[in-house]
Amino acid sequence: MCEANAYLVKDGEESLIMESVDIVQPEEGGTWRLVSIFGEQKNVKARIKEMNLVNHRILFEEDAG
Amino acid sequence: MCEANAYLVKDGEESLIMESVDIVQPEEGGTWRLVSIFGEQKNVKARIKEMNLVNHRILFEEDAG
Protein backbone atom coordinates (compact mmCIF):
# COMPACT_ATOMS: atom_id res chain seq x y z
CA MET A 1 0.00 0.00 0.00
CA CYS A 2 1.19 3.46 -0.81
CA GLU A 3 -0.42 5.58 1.81
CA ALA A 4 1.65 8.17 3.70
CA ASN A 5 1.84 9.58 7.19
CA ALA A 6 0.90 13.23 7.67
CA TYR A 7 2.86 15.39 10.10
CA LEU A 8 2.52 18.94 11.34
CA VAL A 9 5.87 20.74 11.55
CA LYS A 10 6.02 23.41 14.24
CA ASP A 11 9.16 25.01 15.61
CA GLY A 12 11.19 22.37 13.82
CA GLU A 13 9.35 19.49 15.50
CA GLU A 14 7.07 17.04 13.74
CA SER A 15 3.87 15.80 15.31
CA LEU A 16 1.85 13.05 13.68
CA ILE A 17 -1.52 14.18 12.35
CA MET A 18 -2.67 10.95 10.76
CA GLU A 19 -1.20 7.62 9.75
CA SER A 20 -1.90 5.82 6.49
CA VAL A 21 -3.34 8.78 4.62
CA ASP A 22 -4.89 7.87 1.29
CA ILE A 23 -6.75 11.00 0.18
CA VAL A 24 -5.69 14.64 0.51
CA GLN A 25 -8.17 17.21 -0.73
CA PRO A 26 -8.35 20.99 -0.38
CA GLU A 27 -11.36 22.42 1.42
CA GLU A 28 -12.39 26.04 1.79
CA GLY A 29 -10.52 28.40 4.05
CA GLY A 30 -7.05 26.94 3.72
CA THR A 31 -8.08 23.59 5.14
CA TRP A 32 -7.08 20.14 3.88
CA ARG A 33 -9.26 17.07 4.29
CA LEU A 34 -7.34 13.90 5.02
CA VAL A 35 -8.84 10.44 4.72
CA SER A 36 -6.92 7.38 5.84
CA ILE A 37 -7.10 3.91 4.32
CA PHE A 38 -9.23 2.98 7.35
CA GLY A 39 -11.82 5.64 6.49
CA GLU A 40 -10.78 7.96 9.30
CA GLN A 41 -11.22 11.62 8.35
CA LYS A 42 -9.57 14.74 9.65
CA ASN A 43 -9.46 18.39 8.59
CA VAL A 44 -6.18 20.24 8.93
CA LYS A 45 -5.89 24.00 8.70
CA ALA A 46 -2.34 24.29 7.44
CA ARG A 47 -0.18 24.66 4.37
CA ILE A 48 1.54 21.78 2.65
CA LYS A 49 5.24 22.17 3.29
CA GLU A 50 6.45 19.13 1.35
CA MET A 51 5.29 15.74 0.24
CA ASN A 52 7.75 12.92 -0.16
CA LEU A 53 5.84 9.97 -1.53
CA VAL A 54 8.66 7.45 -1.73
CA ASN A 55 9.33 8.08 1.97
CA HIS A 56 5.58 8.09 2.74
CA ARG A 57 5.66 11.53 4.29
CA ILE A 58 3.37 14.55 3.99
CA LEU A 59 4.50 17.57 5.95
CA PHE A 60 2.14 20.39 6.86
CA GLU A 61 3.03 23.68 8.51
CA GLU A 62 0.78 26.19 10.16
CA ASP A 63 -0.11 29.16 8.05
CA ALA A 64 1.89 32.17 9.13
CA GLY A 65 -0.80 34.59 7.97
CA MET B 1 7.84 2.19 -4.94
CA CYS B 2 5.14 4.57 -3.92
CA GLU B 3 5.45 7.39 -6.35
CA ALA B 4 2.37 8.76 -8.09
CA ASN B 5 1.44 10.14 -11.47
CA ALA B 6 0.49 13.80 -11.69
CA TYR B 7 -2.31 14.90 -14.02
CA LEU B 8 -3.76 18.25 -15.00
CA VAL B 9 -7.55 18.22 -15.16
CA LYS B 10 -9.02 20.64 -17.66
CA ASP B 11 -12.58 20.62 -18.97
CA GLY B 12 -13.04 17.21 -17.41
CA GLU B 13 -10.06 15.70 -19.22
CA GLU B 14 -6.85 14.54 -17.61
CA SER B 15 -3.48 15.10 -19.20
CA LEU B 16 -0.36 13.58 -17.72
CA ILE B 17 2.07 16.11 -16.28
CA MET B 18 4.67 13.77 -14.87
CA GLU B 19 5.04 10.09 -14.11
CA SER B 20 6.56 8.63 -10.96
CA VAL B 21 6.42 11.79 -8.88
CA ASP B 22 8.27 11.53 -5.59
CA ILE B 23 8.39 15.09 -4.25
CA VAL B 24 5.69 17.77 -4.35
CA GLN B 25 6.64 21.13 -2.90
CA PRO B 26 4.97 24.53 -2.99
CA GLU B 27 6.87 27.37 -4.63
CA GLU B 28 6.03 31.05 -4.75
CA GLY B 29 3.19 32.35 -6.90
CA GLY B 30 0.88 29.36 -6.71
CA THR B 31 3.38 27.04 -8.32
CA TRP B 32 4.18 23.46 -7.32
CA ARG B 33 7.57 21.87 -7.88
CA LEU B 34 7.42 18.22 -8.86
CA VAL B 35 10.42 15.90 -8.76
CA SER B 36 10.20 12.39 -10.12
CA ILE B 37 12.08 9.35 -8.83
CA PHE B 38 14.32 9.79 -11.88
CA GLY B 39 15.30 13.29 -10.79
CA GLU B 40 13.24 15.01 -13.47
CA GLN B 41 11.86 18.34 -12.28
CA LYS B 42 8.88 20.33 -13.40
CA ASN B 43 7.03 23.39 -12.10
CA VAL B 44 3.27 23.44 -12.37
CA LYS B 45 1.19 26.57 -11.90
CA ALA B 46 -2.02 25.02 -10.68
CA ARG B 47 -4.04 24.07 -7.62
CA ILE B 48 -4.11 20.62 -6.13
CA LYS B 49 -7.56 19.20 -6.80
CA GLU B 50 -7.11 15.86 -5.09
CA MET B 51 -4.43 13.37 -4.19
CA ASN B 52 -5.20 9.69 -4.02
CA LEU B 53 -2.08 7.97 -2.82
CA VAL B 54 -3.33 4.39 -2.84
CA ASN B 55 -4.28 4.87 -6.49
CA HIS B 56 -1.02 6.74 -7.19
CA ARG B 57 -2.78 9.80 -8.52
CA ILE B 58 -2.23 13.52 -7.99
CA LEU B 59 -4.74 15.74 -9.75
CA PHE B 60 -4.06 19.40 -10.44
CA GLU B 61 -6.45 21.94 -11.87
CA GLU B 62 -5.73 25.34 -13.31
CA ASP B 63 -6.35 28.22 -11.00
CA ALA B 64 -9.57 29.98 -11.91
CA GLY B 65 -8.32 33.33 -10.57
Which residue type occupies B8? L
Cα separations (Å) of A17 from A5, A65, B32, B42?
A: 8, 21, 22, 28
B63 CB-side CA count, 13 A: 9
Q: Which of B28, B51, B56, B63 to mutate to test the interface with A (most CBs of A within 10 A)?
A: B51
CA distance B37 to chain A (A): 8
Could you give the ipTM of this predicted complex? Answer: 0.91
pLDDT-based confidence at residue B2 (cuts at 50, 70, 90): confident
CA distance B45 to chain A (A): 15
Query: B2 versus B22: which is more confidently predicted?
Result: B22
Which residues in chain B touch residue A22, judged by CB atoms under 8 angstroms apart? 52-54
Please judge whether B24 and A49 are an interchain contact, meaning their C-beta atoms are less than 8 angstroms apart: no
pTM exceeding 0.90: yes
Which residues in chain A touch residue B26, judged by CB atoms under 8 angstroms apart? 47-49
Mean of per-residue pLDDT scores for chain B: 94
Q: Which of A20, A27, A54 to mutate to test the interface with B (most CBs of B within 10 A)?
A: A54
pLDDT in tens, A15-61: 999 999 999 999 999 999 999 999 999 999 999 999 999 999 999 99
Q: Are strands B57-61 and B4-10 parallel, antiparallel or unpaired?
A: parallel
